[in-house]
Amino acid sequence: MASNMRIPDPLNLIGGQWVPPRSGKTLEVVSPIDGEVFTRIADSGAEDIDAAVAAARSAFEEGEWSRLTAAERGRLLLRFSQAILDNAEELAQLETRDNGKPIAQSRADMTVTARYFEFYGGGADKVHGDVIPFLNGYNVQMTREPHGVTGHIIPWNYPAQMFGRSVAAALAMGNAAVMKPAEDACLSVLRLGEIANAILPPGALNIVAGRGEVAGKALSQHRGIDFISFTGSPEVGQMIQIEAARNFIGCTLELGGKSPQIVFEDADLDAALPVLANAIIQNGGQTCSAGARVLVQRSIYDSLMARLKERFEAVEASPSEEGAILGPLISARQKRRVEGYIDNADAPLVARGRVAEHAPKGGYYVAPALFGPVAPDARIAQEEVFGPVLVAIPFDTEAEAIRIANGTEYGLVAGIWTRDGGRQHRVAKAMRCGQVFVNGYGAGGGVELPFGGIRKSGHGREKGFEALYEFSTIKTIVINHG
């Protein structure tokens, strides 16, 4: 419960110890619910990143962490998973205060976070190599080994979940991790670090809080890391990849999208309707895989839009109490950005929700907006808004729907609504993205399901067993036994 919430101190987790940033500097933490400062976090610099990378290196090469078997690593991650569940309510309250998301969403996020450590804890001892037939007199083994020290930079939209998604697979493979969470919301990550630190050997997991352009940059440029996993904006993702190239290391980038939900005239609209709306309202639309464009076959366009209009008008942005479905956005900056898109949209406004009367005036509330009909190449149909803004685009034929769906620089997720089995397969196959849902939509969750994008949505896969492969490297051992 809220009264038991433990707000972490402005410290970093380095080598199993909670230490202040070397500079002694801290940053204010604001709650989006009321815009008030309620605590501080470390404002770390390059020296703190240096210390964290050194601690991770030592854990990976000679520490207790390096001596564990895969089964032992897995068992520790399973214990951590249970500890997250044991502290889930407190963590959820903290997440809501820090990020502003509705409490029901924070509770769901903690279940998913625990699930990451359960899934990868169970996976740790199931990754194995291969024996490859070669010349007579040779035995060839292919082994999968950890990269070493992995860097992790995550955004503010799902702090706990992103922590789990990125770090659980890396640790399961035996890497030692250094994480830089987002300045705008990282308290749950620090609290998770406290819980983990009672379970994991020192240096396996290190967390350094601070600003992206200082601590994040220092991590991405550090010569002591062997791999980097980044989730956030395409602009920063591009810089991460450039730094990775300078460092001759690999990276995974998860950079968001403008994902389509395609509704054909034969779809079960009663089933589709709540999902279509939720895919952009959930987490205030601040989800990389948000269903931001709804493509509607023209014959059902007017009737579906009338129903979507009704839904959008009923949505109220409110403080993130019990029953809330739309909370505030993360920051004043993000509120201005989303309102800028709404005010300057190059398309007709169909519906606007409301901001609750009792919402604190200093909070970052934005009423959701529905636009349509929107031209496929309109700015609001092409750029990621990262807010509760849905654009509706009419289409006539299946071929046109496919063209529009694939017609952005992004390619993360797609949803297809149709009862026609042939069409389900054809359209799913034609989608240029990393994940396709037929008669459903999966923004968030699904830790078993490989996830990631193409082009401006990034590359590499997280979630599922694939993430264990991303966080490992292959060695081929050729033995001439005569």
Active site residues: 254, 288
Residues 79-138 within binding reach of Mg ion (CB under 5 A): 98
Our CB check for Mg ion shows the closer of 60 and 156 to be 156
> How much is the CA Rg of the chain, to the nearest whole Å?
23
Query: What is the Cα–Cα distance from 305 to 309, expressed in whole angstroms?
Result: 6
Q: Which does 155 bind (CB under 5 to 8 A by kind): Mg ion, ligand NAP, none?
A: ligand NAP
Our CB check for ligand NAP shows the closer of 49 and 304 to be 49
Residue 185 touches Mg ion, criterion: CB under 5 A: yes
Residue 183 touches Mg ion, criterion: CB under 5 A: no
Residues 181-240 within binding reach of ligand NAP (CB under 6 A): 182-184, 211-213, 216-217, 220, 231-233, 236, 239
Query: What is the Cα–Cα distance from 57 to 359, expressed in whole angstroms?
Result: 47
Residues 17-76 within binding reach of ligand NAP (CB under 6 A): none
Q: Which does 386 bind (CB under 5 to 8 A by kind): Mg ion, ligand NAP, none?
A: ligand NAP
Q: How far is the CB of 340 from ligand NAP (least distance, A)?
A: 11
Q: How far is the CB of 344 from ligand NAP (least distance, A)?
A: 16
Kind plus residue range of the DSSP H or E element containing 473: strand 472-480
Q: How far is the CB of 288 from ligand NAP (least distance, A)?
A: 3
Q: In the stretch 136-165, what mask flags binding to ligand NAP with x, by CB under 6 A?
A: -----------------xxxxx--------
Residues 262-301 within binding reach of ligand NAP (CB under 6 A): 288
Is residue 304 classed as helix, strand or coil in its secondary structure?
A: helix
Query: What is the Cα–Cα distance from 247 to 125, expressed in whole angstroms?
Result: 30
Residue 98 touches ligand NAP, criterion: CB under 6 A: no
Q: How far is the CB of 322 from ligand NAP (least distance, A)?
A: 26
Q: Give, in order, the Cα–Cα distances in Å from 345 to each of 13, 81, 279, 350, 404.
A: 44, 44, 20, 12, 19
Q: How far is the CB of 429 from ligand NAP (least distance, A)?
A: 25
Query: Which residues here bind Mg ion, judged by CB under 5 A?
Result: 98, 184-185
Query: Which residues here bind ligand NAP, judged by CB under 6 A?
Result: 153-157, 180, 182-184, 211-213, 216-217, 220, 231-233, 236, 239, 254-256, 288, 384, 386
